[in-house]
Amino acid sequence: MKIKTKKNERQYELKKMITETPFVSDEELSEIFKVSIQTIRLDRLEMGIPELRERMRAAAQKNYSKIVGLGISELIGEIIELEVNQQGISFLEANREMTFKKTDIVKGHYIFSMAESLALAVINSKAALTGVANMKYSKPVSVGDKLVAKAEVFSQRNKDYIVHVKITVKQEQVFRGKFILVPLLNELKEEEL
């Protein structure tokens, strides 16, 4: 009976953690709960929680229809959450193709592209360009790192949007950017969304 109680408590906490941090992997969960990866997978199956890729795919599909100005193939990362003209979150796992071969450090243009494409996805414009970008890289990103980008529409000045984007790895900031986005086409009306 004691084991079942521990299992129930773990499953309750597991479900809570996945709800709060949907992109947490089974490997990370096994380290947090100090159980095997297989135990985490069995817990997820019992509770009907899909694996990380499925959770991300479902969230991304739900949000892609909200994007006005970009095609899916133009986004760097997967959109996890999107509230047009307010905020958005995307996810990207760094792979070897993104790195400098001698150091395994991710090239900056991948990180910038992730931030810029999320900023463009968040605004309500059929087409826009980045007029100004002010950015800072704080720490290097390596193969296997899971990048989480959060964009927020800070303000709208005339027709331009000011969007702040922060990218973190394990909740530690690796990039921040401020983008002034200039719409090229007329704004969409609410009923067109």
The answer to the question of residue 13 being in a domain is yes
pTM of the entire predicted model: 0.69
Please give the pLDDT value at position 114: 95
Please give the pLDDT value at position 188: 44
Please give the pLDDT value at position 171: 86
Q: Are residues 35 and 119 in the same domain?
A: no
- Give the structural domain span for 122: 67-192
Please give the pLDDT value at position 51: 84
Q: Are residues 132 and 181 in the same domain?
A: yes
For residue range 33-66, list pLDDT tens digits in order: 999 989 998 998 888 888 877 777 766 666 566 6
Q: Are residues 129 and 166 in the same domain?
A: yes
- Report the domain count for the chain: 2
Q: Are residues 115 and 183 in the same domain?
A: yes
Question: Tokens 């400098």 correspond to what residue?
Answer: 100
Distances (CA, A) of 179 to 10, 50, 81, 101, 192: 42, 35, 19, 30, 25
Q: What distance in Å separates the CA atoms of residue 153 and residue 16, rounded to the nearest whole number?
A: 28
Q: Are residues 92 and 139 in the same domain?
A: yes
Q: What distance in Å separates the CA atoms of residue 185 and residue 128, rounded to the nearest whole number?
A: 7
Low-confidence ranges of the chain (pLDDT < 70): 1-5, 58-73, 185-193
Q: Are residues 79 and 147 in the same domain?
A: yes
Q: Are residues 183 and 114 in the same domain?
A: yes
Q: What distance in Å separates the CA atoms of residue 101 and residue 17, rounded to the nearest whole number?
A: 35
Please give the pLDDT value at position 1: 39
Looking at residue 23, which CATH number applies to its domain? 1.10.10.10
The answer to the question of residue 110 being in a domain is yes
The answer to the question of residue 19 being in a domain is yes
The answer to the question of residue 54 being in a domain is no
Q: What distance in Å separates the CA atoms of residue 2 and residue 47, rounded to the nearest whole number?
A: 20
Please give the pLDDT value at position 82: 84
Paired tokens of 14: 């597991």
Please give the pLDDT value at position 117: 92
Q: Are residues 150 and 76 in the same domain?
A: yes
Please give the pLDDT value at position 158: 83
The answer to the question of residue 62 being in a domain is no
Please give the pLDDT value at position 119: 93
